[in-house]
């Protein structure tokens, strides 16, 4: 940790000051939860108005990233590798002034392991600890308190900030040092694609056999095979609402990353390969701006089934019932 006298002692977790970089949909929801929990949060965002929208929740707005350098811990939740590199190591970035540095950086963005390792090295060179902490969920999941996080990096730093991570949802799982959390997130997203393709196949099978999608998915979700995820995707499958939460292009990228890791580690992934082919088919169809739940449409087309939205109220497992 850099210049420990500038920051709250490690044993006084309740007094940690928090900086937050990135107030997009996810970042705003997460920073808002920290503020609602009574934490001292200051937010910077490239578009200032998005940060100002959080002021009623109790956050302060920073004029520049430099204003966060005195924070005990700074969270980053940005769009991708280039943005993370810029806000940490760019001109005016968090690490640009070696005389004024935060205690630690916790990155919740979805970035590749190479970028994560480079940012970890940049932080280490300044004496700043770096935790990789990618998340599972979206803004609606955050609002429902069901966000999950996976963390890797120095365990002592994780222990110091764990109470902050707890505020963000269901808490975090520590998986080890370095960038193991990035691999965990890739594995998670590969399963996301596999499960969704499987769900599309069985839903179309049930419908072609004479069942409504709502009835079949209600049965599935009540069974031991149901899950938080199958419940969450049920409204999209029933209402054919493909408002994007995660696109086929992003899912294809994560499959590619998963296969690269599997190659390096000599792990065969035949089921994932079959699901990846289905994802590629949706990309090839040109429907790249919709939600990856369009795997259902692709499966229906292959099965000679024409889908129609069902006017049935279903529970997404997050909002407590009703149409979602």
Nearest CA among 173, 161, 150, 141 for reference residue 39: 161
Distance from C-alpha of 49 to C-alpha of 31, rounded to nearest angstrom: 15
Q: Is the pLDDT of residue 323 over 50?
A: no
In the structure encoding, which two tokens stand for residue 301, read together? 């087309």
Rg (alpha carbons) of the chain, rounded to whole number:
21
Residues composing the chain? 324
Rounded to an integer, what distance in angstroms lies between the CA atom of residue 73 and that of residue 87? 15
What confidence category does residue 14 fall into, taking pLDDT thresholds of 50, 70 and 90? Answer: low
Question: What are the structural domains of the chain?
Answer: 4-178 (3.40.50.720), 183-302 (1.10.1040.10)
For residues 83 and 78, what is the distance between their CA atoms, to the nearest angstrom? 6
Instruction: Tell me the pLDDT band of 15, cut-offs 50, 70 and 90.
Output: confident
| Better-scored residue on pLDDT, 110 or 208 | 208
271 token code pair: 């089921």
CA–CA distance, 320 with 27 (Å, rounded to integer): 24
For the segment 62-75, the average pLDDT, to the nearest whole number, is 98
Q: What is the pLDDT of residue 7?
A: 47
- Mean pLDDT computed over 133-156: 94
* Mean pLDDT score of the chain: 93
Distance CA 239, CA 241 (A): 5
- Contact 84/60 with Cβ under 8 angstroms? no
For range 122-129, the mean pLDDT: 97
Residue 97 confidence (pLDDT) above 90: yes
CB count in 10 Å sphere of residue 198: 16
> Percent of the chain at pLDDT above 90?
89
pLDDT band of 140, cuts 50, 70, 90: confident
Measured over the CA atoms of residue 282, residue 287, residue 293 and residue 297, the dihedral's sign is negative
CB 53 within 8 A of CB 23: yes
Question: Mean per-residue pLDDT for 301-314?
Answer: 97
Question: How far, CA to CA in Å, does 130 sit from each of 24, 122, 126, 274, 322?
Answer: 22, 9, 11, 36, 41
Q: Which two tokens stand for residue 262?
A: 């599997």
Q: Which of 37, 31, 105 is nearest to 69 (CA)?
A: 105
Instruction: Give residue-wise pLDDT tens across range 226-282.
Output: 999 999 999 999 999 999 989 999 999 999 999 999 999 999 999 999 999 999 999
Position 138 scores a pLDDT of 87
pTM for the model stands at 0.88
pLDDT value for 208: 98
178-220 tens-digit pLDDT: 999 999 999 999 999 999 999 999 999 999 999 999 999 999 9
Name residues whose C-beta falls within 8 Å of residue 5's C-beta, 6 or more positions apart in sequence.
Answer: none
């Amino acid at each position: 940790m850099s210049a420990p006298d500038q920051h709250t002692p490690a044993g006084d977790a309740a007094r940690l000051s928090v900086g937050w970089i990135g107030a997009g949909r996810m970042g705003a929801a997460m920073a808002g939860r920290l503020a609602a929990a009574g934490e001292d949060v200051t937010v910077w965002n490239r578009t200032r108005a998005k940060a100002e929208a959080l002021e009623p929740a109790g956050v302060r707005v920073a004029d520049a990233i430099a204003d966060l350098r005195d924070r005990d811990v700074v969270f980053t939740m940005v769009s991708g590798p280039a943005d993370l590199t810029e806000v940490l190591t760019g001109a005016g970035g968090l690490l640009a002034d070696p005389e004024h540095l935060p205690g630690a950086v916790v990155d919740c963005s979805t970035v590749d392991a190479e970028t994560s390792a480079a940012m970890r090295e940049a932080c280490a060179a300044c004496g700043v600890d770096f935790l990789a902490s990618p998340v599972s969920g979206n803004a609606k999941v955050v609002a429902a308190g069901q966000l999950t996080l996976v963390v890797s990096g120095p365990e002592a730093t994780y222990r110091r900030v764990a109470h902050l991570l707890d505020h963000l949802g269901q808490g975090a799982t520590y998986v080890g040092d370095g960038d193991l959390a990035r691999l965990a997130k890739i594995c998670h997203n590969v399963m996301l694609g596999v499960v969704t393709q499987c769900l599309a196949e069985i839903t179309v099978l049930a419908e072609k056999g004479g069942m409504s999608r709502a009835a079949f998915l209600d049965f599935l979700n009540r069974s031991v095979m149901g899950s938080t995820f199958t419940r969450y995707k049920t409204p999209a499958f029933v209402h054919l609402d493909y408002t994007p939460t995660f696109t086929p292009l992003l899912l294809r990228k994560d499959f590619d990353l998963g296969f690269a890791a599997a190659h390096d580690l000599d792990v065969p992934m035949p089921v994932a390969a079959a699901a990846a082919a289905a994802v590629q088919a949706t990309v090839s169809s040109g429907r790249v701006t919709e939600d990856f739940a369009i795997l259902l449409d692709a499966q229906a087309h292959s099965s000679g089934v024409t889908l129609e939205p069902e006017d049935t109220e279903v529970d997404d497992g997050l909002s407590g019932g009703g149409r979602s």
